[in-house]
Structure 1
Amino acid sequence: MSNLRVTLVLGPSEGGVGRHVRSLAYRLSQEGAAVRVVGPAATDDRFDFSSHAEFVPLEPTSLRDLWRLRRRLADADVLHVHDHVAARAALAVPRSTPVVVTWHHPLPTRSLSGRASRALASVIVRRASVVLGAAADLVEAAFALGARDARIVRVAAPELPSPTRTRSQARTALGVAGRPLVLALGALVPAKRFDLLLDAAAVLMRRDALPPLILVAGEGPERERLNARIRRERLPVLLAGRRGDVPELLLAADAVVIPSDWEARSTVAQEALRAGVPLVATKTGGIPDLVGDAALLVPPGDADALAAALVEVLEDPEVAARLREQGPKRAAEWPTEEDTALDMLRVYGEVTGTSV
């Protein structure tokens, strides 16, 4: 497929979707495809798509930009749009252009805007040649909205570089040499439920033992509200902002926590298990199928259960040792980034009628 012209479109992204598209752009280019990435200029600043592909700075939410996008996409052999905002670009290409849609997150279901989003999504999935869902419930939702073909997609988290410090050095740098450290990673947005993590931190403070420091690496619109509560209640939580030293943070951590209401193939879960760090996560979306019994799972929205699972990991050496051993074994069963790119090439081959 050395002559295949692939256009990847994404909307605003701070994390997993942008990293996935960057990985695809690089590996598809390595396979000989001519790759173009379309998205907000800020995504190229963050993920450096232009080092691997042509980058077109356009905002998929703008009708004017969608019209400009139509002119720029006239030569695409296949359009691959990622998530709901970017999926609007499917309406900006000729009917003859095959469209692949990947859903990484569920549609909003409440409020007037949620109903409007579902109506638009129904039009888009009926237009798509294939809808790929990062979790089984996303595939079911696509079929319910009228998709002709919907499948699970195996989204592999990009491999992190090796740490540049020892565990002792990493912990000393963070000021937690003699204290348990719990790490949370992700955008500070409501769906990630860092407010629930603060509830769990308050539960941990009521115990006699020294509570762990909970370090949250990420940025987003919830920062001010979360920080105000942390200060008011003197919670043992540090909002550390966007970090470039995630391998060192994982090395220093005694546990990783994911309190989200919903996740697909969580990149954070993949990073934690690969690194052999015990994981506590909510039992939701694609997480159970992803981690199996290599993590402690708790019901979404239950701060007491979240706190109890963290205590179990931090204070029971046998539980921690089991999770540290099982995590990398489970991770070895997952597809690699190369596997994911080859899966995409096979899908592109199907929708364009060409061979891989």
Structure 2
Amino acid sequence: MSPVSSHAPPGPSPLHTVQVLGGGNAGSSAHVRSLAAGLVARGVRVTVCAPDETDLAYDFTGIGAGHVPVPRSSDPASVAALRAACSGADLVHAHGLHASLRAALALSGRSTPLVVTWHDQPHAEGARARLLRLLERRVVRAATVVLGTTSHLVDRARRRGARDARLAAVSVPRPRGTDGHRDPESSRSKVRAELGSTGRPLLLAVGSLDRLREHGLLLDAAHAWRRLDPQPLVAVAGEGPPRAALQRRIEDEDLPVRLLGRRGDVGRLLAAADLALLPGTGEARSVLAQEALHARVPLVAARTGALAELVGGAAELVPQGDPAAFAAAVVRLLGDAGRREELRDAGTRQAATWPTEDETVAQVLSVYDELTRPQPLA
């Protein structure tokens, strides 16, 4: 009789997923960090392929994921680096159109399942719009499953030829420093003093300084707020190439606006704010909108189908591209404490309908399991 082995037979190897990011927006990066943390906690091996600066900002390695630096470029060297990183992966999950295109190129000729999440709807005009449609078709036809964070994105993927497109709303962790109530002992008064907003309303906008965020519209609207007493201060957290031009306008037109640059303490800023402002379309599933509702900060935003789907009736939504309407909505809210309290309560109820981080991870894992489960023999 053969001796009994003292070692148990080895179990199955853990699922290995590669998450591909292009360095994109805050929503997709925050989602990948949350997703990676949840997957690692459930025994999944996770490698995040993203630019070095994205790992520095979101610390994927700090939550137990591996990190492979891959530039945002689609040049052959970057695609080759991504192809090497995906070698041996059970499944690849790419986030955003450009990251998905690179993943599709890297997996060409391989049978590795590709999951694609579309977090935003890209905007383009003329010849660039035609190129965008071609890229989207290339991506969705390479993908095994396309997940859209809004119903509009799911419909868009199906129109482009996706064989399997599903709705997958993603959660965004609450920002640090926002717990749904105002503590008089908190740093609220300190933040307001630092920003120069003691004794005056504080209005907060957050997001990269780019055309889609409509910061120019925000400055147009700020003209109306100069006439209020006390005069509100608009604080803008974000960075981007238009900063110098925006700063010149602020100074030339004597507007009550401060550009704060890139900030890592959005939670503290929100906890100190009277209103959150979202003047542009930006993301399909706005991080600021979610954070504001979680933090019980009334939100004024430009109306889009995706945003209305996200916030329901828990925000003041105004027509896009209308600075007068945006300014008027802010003035009304500042003068109506009862309406602000209604929006805080509505925001709490709406946020409770969104998926939790655990629910989001469980949903994604069910897709992974479906795509990697061994198929029965015929």
Structure ID, larger Rg = 2
Deviations 1:199-229 (A, max 9, x none): 1112333x35443111001111221221121
The amino acid of 1:53's aligned partner reads A
Instruction: Output aligned runs, 1:163-202, within 5 Å.
Output: 165-202=186-223
Task: Verify the 8 A CA contact 1:194 1:260 in the aligned structure 2.
Answer: yes
2:133 to 118, 126, 138: 118
**Which sections of structure 1, spanning at least 5 residues, go unmatched?**
none
Q: Out of 145, 149, 154, which is 2:160 matched to?
A: 145
1:155-202 Cα offsets, whole Å, 9 max, x none, are 111122236934333322322121011000111111111111111112
Distance 2:81 2:272 in 1: 47
2:114 is matched with 99
Q: TM (normalized to structure 1)?
A: 0.94
* Aligned amino acid, residue 244 of structure 1: G
- In structure 2, the partner of 1:348 is 368
Within 1, Cα distance between the matches of 2:263 and 2:301?
21
Matched, 1:90 2:104: yes
Given that 1:58 and 1:69 are in contact with CA atoms closer than 8 Å, whether structure 2 keeps it comes out as: yes
Deviation at 1:2, TM superposition (A): 7.0
Q: Conserved in 1, the CA contact under 8 Å of 2:39 and 2:46?
A: yes
Q: What displacement does 1:60 show?
A: 4.1
2:32 is aligned, of 1, 17, 21, to: 21
Tell whether 2:55 aligns with 1:55: no
Unpaired runs of at least 5, structure 2: 1-11, 179-184
CA distance in structure 2 between the aligned counterparts of 1:265 and 1:212, rounded to whole angstroms: 27
Tell me the CA shift for residue 86 of structure 1: 0.4
How far apart, in 1, do the equivalents of 2:309 and 2:13 lie?
35
Greater displacement, 306-315 / 66-75: 66-75
Tell me, in whole angstroms, the C-alpha distance in 2 between the residues paired with 1:109 and 1:176.
Answer: 38
Partner secondary structure for residue 123 of structure 1: helix
**Equivalent position of 1:74 in the other structure:** 87
| Closer, same or farther: CA 221–71 of 1 in aligned 2, 3 Å | same
Aligned to 2:349: 329
Secondary structure at the counterpart of residue 228 of structure 1 = helix
State the partner residue of 2:295.
Answer: 275
1:310 corresponds to = 330
Counterpart check, 1:288 vs 2:330 = no
CA-based RMSD of the aligned residues comes to: 1.8
Q: Which residue number in structure 2 is paired with residue 232 of structure 1?
A: 252
2: distance between equivalents of 1:158 and 1:296?
23
Partner Cα separation in structure 1 for residue 21 and residue 220 of structure 2? 33
Structure 1 position 83, deviation (Å)? 0.4
SS of aligned partner of 2:80: helix
**Alignment partners' CA distance in 2, 1:174 and 1:330:** 30
**Structure 1 residues 316 and 240: CA distance shift in structure 2, 3 A:** same
Within 2, Cα distance between the matches of 1:33 and 1:58?
Answer: 21
Query: In the alignment, which residue of structure 1 is the partner of 2:123?
Result: 108
Partner Cα separation in structure 1 for residue 136 and residue 72 of structure 2: 14
Determine if contact 2:199/2:230 at 8 Å carries over to the other structure: no
Contact 1:191 1:260 in 2 (8 A): yes
Q: CA-to-partner distance for each residue in 1:13-68, whole Å, 9 max, x for gaps?
A: 35221111111111111111110000111111111112221100012422211022
In 1, the alpha carbon distance for the partners of 2:296 and 2:374 equals 41
CA-CA distance at 1:144 after TM superposition: 1.1
Structure 2 Cα separation of the partners of residues 10 and 279 of structure 1: 29
* CA distance in 1 between partners of 2:289 and 2:35 (Å): 20
- Decide whether the 8 Å contact of 1:264 with 1:286 is kept in 2: yes
Q: Deviations over 1:237-256 (max 9, x none)?
A: 11001112222211211100
Give the Cα separation in 2 of the matches to 1:120 and 1:166.
47
C-alpha distance in 2 between matches for 1:208 and 1:349: 57
The structural deviation recorded for 1:262 is 4.6
Report deviation, 1:5: 0.8
